[in-house]
Amino acid sequence: MTTSAPFSSGPIGIFDSGVGGLTVLRAIREAFPGEDLIYLGDTARVPYGNKGTETVRRYSVNVARFLVERGCRALVIACNTASAQALDAVEAAVEVPVVDVIRPVSRYIGEGNARTVLVLGTRGTVASGAYPREIARTGRQVTVLQQPCPLLVPLAEEGWLQGEVPTEVVRTYLGSVLASSSVDTIVLGCTHYPLLREVIAQVATELCGYTPAVLDGGFHAARALGALATMQQRPVNRPGATQFCVTDDPAGFLGVARLFLGHDISAAEHVDIT
């Protein structure tokens, strides 16, 4: 993120390719109950994870510019794929601070005592190498393992958060890697995965014989957002408003949002972004 840009009095913009970024919005809302937020889900073009890098960069820049035009004074990229592939392009395209979901948790790892980290993510995020790269930049000697877990996204969106099916899927993904490595920290490297945090922690404890730390990028993105000068200079003494925008039919978005937010939302604005 950059902190040198001029600040306005506008809301915080948060964007993702779909609904997963709502876990990040939830963390930000809990940290800053008085802030106005705008969430944009690029649901017409979801998922970003199977798109080429240049396409992800173009989509992300277009969304970021849209949010800035809406008056946002800071942006949060609530998408691991966009954070991995488009952060520099977004920062170059807008004149407001930008927070992503990869650097903050990587810096937290760099400041701590982790020795072996397991990153769970989509195939695209794992293939990008973003987490090993950012953790290496902290200068700490940390072993970083990665495991793609593509089935966890549809499980989260279908609300299959507990029970035999998600438990067996998680056990299948974690079994071999935890059997051969002493992992002390697990990173939820996809914004859908916090919904399955309980199952992931339970299975990891069973397989390891101890409980690894489980880190949520949304929580650490909220912490990074709070460190911005524009946040520190803006005490707010009223409940913040949240506006939701989507690039496809809002009906599907509204139906899934409750799983990610813990409550219903009444409306989402359909917007066109080229």
Which are the catalytic amino acids? 79, 190
- 112: which 2 tokens? 């701590």
DSSP 8-state code for residue 250? H
Question: Residue 46 and residue 146: Cα distance in Å, rounded?
Answer: 23
Question: Residue 271 and residue 226: Cα distance in Å, rounded?
Answer: 28
Token pair 């948060």 is found at 14
Q: Contact, 19 vs 253, CB < 8 A?
A: yes
- 249: which 2 tokens? 């039919």
Q: Contact, 4 vs 209, CB < 8 A?
A: no
Q: Contact, 83 vs 16, CB < 8 A?
A: no
- 154: which 2 tokens? 């549809």
